[in-house]
Amino acid sequence: MDWYQTLFELIDMRSFSNLWFWIVLAVVWSTTSHYGLGVPFDMVLRAKRHGGQSEIDLEDLVRINTNRLLFIAQMSGLWIAGFACFFLTILGLLGFVYGNEFAQSVVLLALPLSVVGLLSLSTARLIQEEDARGEQLLKRLMRHRLYSQIIGMISIFVTAMWGMLQNIGGGIFGG
């Protein structure tokens, strides 16, 4: 019984007062910002600075990832959207109607990531429609990264404010 208690002290379900949650939040948004459409940002910078083979490699990787993303969206996009909405709604109800802090933290992480997912789909569609290459592709990827970072900054700010509200006074649930 002691190991069970120790485990749940380490993995505290009160997310906003837990260091692990904030570490996960930082890592998730850092990773999301670095890998736009599955392409590492350092590869974008290398292609922009050096061109040549770096640019060809970037175009190939973007083509592969956009084709994959759009194929998944075409084949099972409605199912994925339906399940995502279902789970976000369930978590939202558990978190903000019933006051479950763990569900609140998952919603505050998953909802903005869903927006970034939709942004990725939109960017992939635009890249494919325009048959973007060279400078045009670099601009698209840079814009995608900027928008992802803006969504991340807003998400981190809102999560931090909500977390402080929860930690200071138990939030609106009196918990």
Which residue, among 31, 2, 173, has the nearest Cα to 10 in the 3D structure?
2
Provide Rg for the chain, Cα atoms. Answer: 20
Q: What's the pLDDT score for residue 59? A: 95
Tell me if 62 sits within 8 A of 43, measured CB to CB: no
Q: Which two tokens stand for residue 131?
A: 């048959």
Rounded Cα distance between 31 and 21, Å, is 15
Residues 6+ apart with CB under 8 A from 56: none
Residues 6+ apart with CB under 8 A from 164: 16
pTM for this structure? 0.86
Q: Spell out the per-residue pLDDT of the chain, length 175, in tens.
A: 677 777 666 665 577 888 888 999 999 999 999 999 999 999 999 999 998 999 999 999 999 999 999 999 999 999 999 999 999 999 999 999 998 999 999 999 999 999 999 999 999 999 999 999 999 999 999 999 999 999 999 999 999 999 998 888 765 554 4
- Report the length, in residues, of the chain: 175
Tell me if 141 sits within 8 A of 44, measured CB to CB: yes
Query: Which amino acid appears at position 98 of this protein?
Result: Y
Q: What's the pLDDT score for residue 135? A: 92
DSSP state of 174: T
